[in-house]
Amino acid sequence: MSPRRGVAFLSLLVLAGGCTAGSAVPNSSVPDISSGPSTTSTGGQGPPNVLVILTDDQRAGTLDVMPKTRRIFGEGGTLFLNGFVTTPLCCPSRATILSGRYDHNNGVMGNADALKLDQDATIERYLQDAGYRTGIIGKFLNTWPLDRNPWRWDTWDIFNNGYFETSWNVQGRQETVDRYSTSFISDQAVRFLRQSESNDTQPWFLYAAPSAPHDPWIPAPKYAHASLPHFVRNPAMLEADLSDKPPWVRHAIKLTRARIARNRADQLRTLVSVDDMVGRVFRVLRDLGEDRDTLAFFLSDNGFLWGEHGVAGDRSERETSPTKITGKRLPYTQSIHVPFLMRWPGHVRTGVLDPRFVANVDIAPTIMDAAGLTPSPSTPMDGRSLLAGRTRDRMFFEYFLDPLYPVIPTWASVRTPTLQYVEYYGPGGKIVFREYYDLVTDPFQLDNLLGDGTTSNDPHVAALSREIRADRGCRGTSDGDPCP
């Protein structure tokens, strides 16, 4: 990357929601400096190795504390400025990543639904059947019983959450790991890569999922006081009038600014260890000669609010108020917008900032495309390959009432470069609240035009409502016609 290109990259990284600003820009206001598609043809080579690194609760704009990740994935690949998750909740999002299907199709609608995922319609199944060596290290699916081995993986070391004294299923053995969990995941990932080298002709799929930066946000001791970018609050964090927001937002317990700042600092410090892991994994890949033969992704399962619209998660939320505090689960930008990066030397262009709408539902179809595979016609994938250069004109998001956290009702949303419309549903599917934001004039979603008490500015949403109704039942087709 040239010096000028590097300056442009880092400048737009901040515009995309750098952790100093903590915000995202609407799609329409991001300049496209990619000079064409961000991918090139896969032209005739064998199937690549596949690496997915998935963090937990990492909002977009937090890569400032991850210089190795920025260099390896950003300067060495493509950063998607408008990368989203279709459901901003851990287990459903992870099911979408592995299945390439919206949660209304894969059946995982809440954090207690891990066992509902059809393991025969996942990327690990397709790759394993195609001769890949498959491995998972870290967090699999929330509430997955650790006495049950995960299916369709040749090797596994899985846990549910935490940093020290964590419980694991290590290749069928239940163990307590004393070491810092991100460091343990790093060691096991390197072990997987070196073991895979014993059969160099066999491609592999590695899914590495640290707990960071999920609560309880315990940094590694050496990073407990690491310096961080200054915390500059965005307008949504300073919003005083919440009268236009739904009652579950208005009534959320409000954390002090000091508490939010402390929580943010600990979250970011846990990510420094993840950055070390990324750097180490790619050093080993280079040493093994596998760097250029590996399609890799870096993303998070959902974002996290740092006080936007009065909402912020807290490390003690489960113990003190399980139905009142959340940093995710809502349709606001910081909840659904995540870091989203892809690299594959020689196939994915480097140093590119891609403004396309992309989502976690696209990961599995991209891998299938790269590996030359086709999903079963009975369970088609809903996303689209990011290697094909296709674009969306809108995004669809969905969330389902979760018995583990019943305060937020089912909702669905459509987002375009210029607007976001949200419907919340009560019993029987009746709409109980609506939100509409003009993302051009109000990118921080301060003014819900359907809840500001002024009917003269109410937008016409009948067509958007019909779109949402269709999207809530959409299903990919075997001939490649995807959902939104």
Residues annotated as catalytic (active site), given as ranges = 90
Spatial CA neighbour of 402 closest among 88, 84, 59: 88
Q: How many other β-carbons are positioned within 10 Å of the β-carbon of residue 428?
A: 5
Token representation of residue 72: 């390896």
Compute the distance between CA of residue 241 and CA of residue 336 in angstroms, rounded to an integer.
Answer: 22
Distance (Å, rounded) from C-alpha 118 to C-alpha 40?
Answer: 32
Count the Cβ atoms, other than its own, within 10 Å of residue 77.
24
Cα 234 to its chain centre, rounded Å, is: 21
Residue 95, helix vs strand vs coil? helix
d(CA 247, CA 433): 9
CB-based contacts of 195-201 (< 8 A; 24+ apart in sequence): 195/155, 196/49, 196/133, 197/288, 197/290, 199/133
CA-CA distance, 353 to 306, in Å (whole number)?
25
Exposure letters 89-123 (e unless 16+ CB within 10 A, then b)? bbbbbbbbbbbbbbbbbbebbbbebbeebeeebbb
